[in-house]
Amino acid sequence: MAGGLLMSGAVAALLTTALPAHASSPFDNPPPDKIVIDVATVNGSGCPAGTAAVAVSPDNTAFTVTYSAYLAQAGGNSDPTAFRKNCQLNLVVHVPQGFTYAIASADYRGFASLQRGATATQKASYYFQGSSNTVPRTHPFGGPYNDDWQATDSTDWAQLVWAPCGVLRNFNINTELRVNAGTTSPDKVSFMTMDSTDGDISTVYHMAWRQCPNS
């Protein structure tokens, strides 16, 4: 799927030590110039080739990922390997000179149908090429449950991980869905999705922005 996805949009932020006191929002003053984000690779059982799409928001403060085959399930006649699905996106972010960016928050959505006693988790982590993974954020769900679900990862400004200034480093997003059928109703299927058949359900990544030193 390399090269199969292309996203244009300004995704930038500045790498300095602190915001001025009056700048209360990490989304203030995004760079006006559009940038290009190429999806270098898409790997994982939750995002087979042709089942993930990326788009940027018109105001350049976020981008979305929409999946069409991201489903984990367990119980009943489920495939023994279907209880865990994952996806790794490797993005090449071309940032305007003098700027860098960070992920301020991420909104995940989908649908879950969990039998009584079944459990499910959604997990995500992020890192720049050559850097350590961020600590994974995990969101648990328990049955009985049969509804849409939503989970949000957010990071305080002081804890944001910024792309290094003046160096092109690929940005990696790792996500995972996991379902455990439990012992109450193991003969019935429980599942969790992070996909959309109509394009209305997307993962949204909100960008923070700052200007590089001496830019």
pLDDT digits (tens, 9 = 90+) for 86-135: 999 998 887 777 888 888 899 999 999 999 999 999 999 988 888 766 77
What pLDDT does residue 109 have?
92
In 3D, which of 194, 190, 192 has the Cα closest to residue 203?
A: 194
Single-letter residue type at 23 = A
Residue 75 and residue 188 in contact, taking contact as beta carbons nearer than 8 Å: yes
What pLDDT does residue 31 have?
64
Residue 163 and residue 212 in contact, taking contact as beta carbons nearer than 8 Å: no
Q: What's the rounded Cα separation, in Å, for the pair 200 and 29?
A: 28
What pLDDT does residue 211 have?
84
Q: Which two tokens stand for residue 70?
A: 């991201």
What pLDDT does residue 115 have?
97
What pLDDT does residue 200 have?
54
Q: Is the pTM of this model over 0.85?
A: no
Spans of the chain below 70 pLDDT: 1-36, 60, 132-133, 196-201, 215
Residue 47 and residue 67 in contact, taking contact as beta carbons nearer than 8 Å: yes
What pLDDT does residue 114 have?
97
What pLDDT does residue 201 have?
61
